[in-house]
Amino acid sequence: MQNVRLSVAWLVAGVSLCALGFLLVTGQPFAAKAQEPKRFQYKIVEVLPDTQNMQTKLNEFGASGWELVAVSMGDMTEPRLIFKK
């Protein structure tokens, strides 16, 4: 009876090691997949300093997939909208 238990234990250990080996060879789920570096485009747009003009530009670029990331005031008379895509 003890030989049967010992054989079952060895069988379970062998199956477990085979499963672990298979996972290591196939790379699942342990391998971290290489990620492609993110690439961004930037666009700087000078706008007139009135609310309606700025809103129009924001909506225009937002509809094209651009995200506003900063506003630079420069000399305080010509705001620059900085977009990222």
pLDDT > 80? residue 22: no
pLDDT of 41-81, one tens digit each? Answer: 999 999 888 889 889 999 999 999 999 999 998 777 788 99
Query: Using an 8 Å Cβ cutoff, are 67 and 77 in contact?
Result: no
Query: Using an 8 Å Cβ cutoff, are 84 and 67 in contact?
Result: yes
Query: Using an 8 Å Cβ cutoff, are 71 and 80 in contact?
Result: yes
| pTM score | 0.54
Q: What is the reported pLDDT for 26?
A: 62
Query: Using an 8 Å Cβ cutoff, are 83 and 62 in contact?
Result: no
pLDDT > 60? residue 21: no
Burial class (CB in 10 A: 0-12, 13-18, 19+), 45: middle
Using the 8-state DSSP alphabet, how is residue 63 labeled? H
